[in-house]
Amino acid sequence: MATRNHHVCYVVPPYLLSAIADSSHNEDHVRESARNALTSHKSYVGKREKRFAALTAPRGSKGAAAARKSIVPDHMLQHIADCEDVDDETRACAKRDLEHIKKVHAKYQEAQGISGDTSAQKTLTATDDSSDATEKTYRAVYDSNHDSNEAHLPGKVIRVEGQKASSDEAANEAYDNAGLVLSFYKDIFNWNSIDNKNMNVISSVHFGVNYENAFWDPEAAQMVYGDGNTFLTNFTGCIDVIGHELTHAVTEHTSPLDYTGQSGALNEHVSDVFGIMIKQRVENETADKADWLIGEYCLMPGVKGVALRSMKAPGTAYDDPRFGKDPQPDNFKDYKVTTDDNGGVHMYSGIPNKAFYNAAVAFGGYSWEKAGKVWWETMRSGQVPAKCTFAQFADVTVDKAEELFGDDAATIVRKAWTDVGVVRKSH
């Protein structure tokens, strides 16, 4: 496992890394790798907090983040436009969007009194007046060639939008599964890409040497995948993991939740909710038939466990002397204030996860038909504060259930939360 410096969300939670590092059942090199990952996790926590604080700061205040627009790298568009084995429609779209970029570059230069060489300008940030900006979401997958230095990301291009499958299976999985995530958001919630403005989706595979993790890096605005090693692998093949990570980016554009304490646990919970719905859609499973396991295909054979997390039964995902026992509680009565894991953001996400499971099963049918829509409208409501508590989030879901589906639905959602110990007002 490589050391990390940026504020990213890891698929593998720190409490699991800690258990691996502390277990005498693991070889020394495995324990050392886990310790390195934990050290890097601590270094990015403060930066991640700053990012979400900036995202939720009042408009115009000091430190407030500028509104993120759709960022399209022109070098990627040029590659697509020139690539012979890209389909005609995608190549035509890339040429159109590249011409748009050149026009906006020219306007920018004219306004700034700049002329001549434009090579230094590598990307375009689409502005509000660019009504003819790209209407297509572009995917691109790169090979980081086992380099663990993020400054070198994304790496060498392997496959771009519209291009045929490559000989690199991990690249094909990253490409195809990103497409499944995007189609879920588009088809179910009419949400275009990550930011609802067709932001391109970039992924890098083969990060580091035997790197047993995957993550969304908000600074690089891309997915990064390791190849795995002793215990964990197949990150590009786990659609729920990819859905989870890309949803962190979606959360930034809906209701940014401070990545600490209960709001941070809700941040993780939302990613699990949409990750599991995407998996269930791909596998065509109704709520009552699904296994509700996150990362079940990441565990290597021989590990005593079924997944990284269970939304149906938090605390039961694994029990292995090399991993320890899954520590997630399933009820708010077991919630304790902690400084570990940025306030227990991965640990306590199991509580709202179980609430969503309860609601989805009680509604029946597919999880995204009712429960998913309630959670989506909650995130889009503008009523979720940055430092949201479980009780506050529960109240908004109850209100949205009533607005969407009536009193009976509100009662179902309230009971789902009450059954995990999150009790507020009666409905």
Per-residue pLDDT of 205-229, as tens digits, reads 999 887 777 888 877 888 999 888 7
Check if 105 is active-site.
no
More confident residue, 69 or 300: 300
Predicted local distance difference test score (pLDDT) of residue 315 = 95
Q: Do 199 and 337 have their domain in common?
A: no
**Average pLDDT, rounded, for the chain:** 81
Predicted local distance difference test score (pLDDT) of residue 44 = 46
Scanning the structure block, which residue is given the tokens 């409501």? 381
Q: Do 279 and 346 have their domain in common?
A: yes
pLDDT (mean) for 298-321: 88
Predicted local distance difference test score (pLDDT) of residue 294 = 93
Predicted local distance difference test score (pLDDT) of residue 67 = 34
Rounded to a whole number, what is the largest CA-CA distance in the chain? 67
- Nearest-angstrom CA–CA distance, 356 and 350: 10
Q: What's the angle, vertex CA 263, arms to CA 261 and CA 267, rounded to 5?
A: 115
pLDDT at residue 8 is higher than 50: no
pTM for this one? 0.77
Q: Do 262 and 396 have their domain in common?
A: yes
pLDDT band of residue 155 (cuts 50, 70, 90) is very high
Catalytic residue among 212, 245, 296, 402: 245
- Nearest-angstrom CA–CA distance, 362 and 370: 10
43 in a structural domain = no
Check if 29 is active-site.
no
Q: How many domains does the chain have?
A: 2
Predicted local distance difference test score (pLDDT) of residue 339 = 86
Predicted local distance difference test score (pLDDT) of residue 426 = 55
pLDDT band of residue 357 (cuts 50, 70, 90) is very high
Least confident interval from 101-105, 275-279, 312-316 = 101-105
Last residue of a domain, one of 237, 270, 302: 237
More confident residue, 135 or 425: 135
Per-residue pLDDT of 173-189, as tens digits, reads 999 999 999 999 999 99
Scanning the structure block, which residue is given the tokens 């991990």? 170
pLDDT band of residue 171 (cuts 50, 70, 90) is very high
Residues 6+ apart with CB under 8 A from 42: none
The domain that contains 129 carries what CATH number?
Answer: 3.10.170.10
Q: Work out the angle between the directed axes of helices 169-189 and 371-380 (0-180°, nearest 10).
A: 80
398 in a structural domain = yes
62 in a structural domain = no
More confident residue, 122 or 278: 278
Predicted local distance difference test score (pLDDT) of residue 22 = 75
Taking the CA atoms of 389, 268, 244 and 195 in sequence, report the sign of the dihedral they define: positive
Q: Do 283 and 336 have their domain in common?
A: yes
Predicted local distance difference test score (pLDDT) of residue 66 = 37
pLDDT band of residue 60 (cuts 50, 70, 90) is very low
163 in a structural domain = yes
Catalytic residue among 244, 253, 269, 346: 346
Q: Do 233 and 261 have their domain in common?
A: no
Please say whether the beta carbons of 298 and 230 come within 8 A: no
* 414 alpha-carbon distance from chain centroid: 27
pLDDT at residue 41 is higher than 70: no
Predicted local distance difference test score (pLDDT) of residue 38 = 61
Q: Residue 84 belongs to what domain range? A: 68-237
Q: Do 89 and 215 have their domain in common?
A: yes
Per-residue pLDDT of 94-136, as tens digits, reads 676 667 556 644 553 454 444 444 333 333 333 334 444 457 8
More confident residue, 242 or 73: 242
